[in-house]
A and B are shown apart, each in its own frame.
Chain A
Amino acid sequence: MLGRRLMLAAACSLASLGQACAQPAGQDTAAAAPNVRVFDLPKGARVHDVAPAPDGKVWYTAQRQGALGILDPKTGQVRQVPLGQGSSPHGVIQGPDGAAWITDGGQNAIVRYDPRTEKIDVWKLPEDTGYANLNTGAFDGDGIHWFTGQNGIYGSLDPKTGAMKVFKDVDGRGPYGIAATPAGDVYYVSLAGSHLARIDRKTGAATIIEPPTPAQGARRVWSDSKGDLWISEWNSGQLSRYSPPTGQWQAWKLPGDAPKAYAVYVDERDIVWVTDFAANATLTFDPKTEQWTSIPGSGAGANVRQILGRPGEVYLPESGTDRIMVVRTGG
Chain B
Amino acid sequence: MKHRAIGITAGALVAVASMALSAPETSPRNAGERAYQKCYSCHALEPGKNDLDGPSLHGIVGRRVAVERGFAYSPAMKRFAARNPRWTPQLIDRMAADPEALIPGTSMNFHGMSDAKERAALIAYLRVAETKN
Which residues of A pack against B, CB within 8 Å?
25, 44, 46, 48, 63-64, 66, 86, 88, 105-106, 108, 110, 123-131, 133, 150-153, 155, 157, 162-170, 173-174, 191-192, 200, 203-212, 215, 217, 235, 247-249, 260, 277, 301, 303, 305, 319-320
Contacts and interface: CB of A to CB of B under 8 A. Distances in A.
Interface string B1-45: 111111110111111111111110000000000100110111000
Given A165-B14, A167-B12, A167-B13, A211 B1 contact: yes
Contacts of A204: 8, 12
A170 B6 contact: yes
B38 A133 contact: yes
Given A125-B21, A167-B8, A247 B38 contact: no
A305 B17 CA distance: 28
A162 B21 contact: no
Contacts of B16: 126, 162-164
Chain A interface SS verdict (over half): loop
Given A151-B37, A170-B4, A173-B41, A63 B109 contact: yes
Interface in B77-110: 100, 105, 107, 109
B51 interface: yes
Contact of A123 (B1, B11, B17, B111): B17
26 contacts: A63-B111, A86-B114, A123-B17, A123-B18, A124-B17, A125-B21, A127-B22, A131-B40, A151-B41, A153-B13, A155-B13, A162-B18, A165-B12, A166-B14, A168-B13, A169-B11, A173-B40, A192-B51, A192-B52, A200-B8, A204-B12, A208-B5, A210-B2, A235-B51, A277-B107, A301-B75
Q: 5 nearest interchain CB pairs?
A: A88-B111, A150-B41, A123-B17, A205-B8, A208-B4
A157 B18 CA distance: 11
Given A63-B109, A203-B8, A208-B6, 12 more contacts: A86-B114, A124-B18, A126-B17, A130-B34, A133-B40, A166-B12, A170-B11, A192-B52, A205-B7, A210-B3, A301-B74, A301-B76
B111 A129 contact: no
A92 to B, nearest CB: 15
B94 to A, nearest CB: 16
Contact of A25 (B4, B40, B75): B75
Contacts of B4: 170, 207-208, 210
Interface residues of B, number: 41
A63 to B, nearest CB: 6
B53 interface: yes
Given A88-B111, A127-B20, A215-B51, A167 B1 contact: no
Contact of B111 (A106, A203, A211): A106
Given A192-B41, A192-B52, A208-B3, A162 B17 contact: yes
Contacts of B75: 25, 301
Contacts of A209: 1-3
Contacts of A210: 1-4
B104 to A, nearest CB: 10
B69 to A, nearest CB: 16
A204 to B, nearest CB: 6
A126 B109 contact: no
A123 B14 CA distance: 14
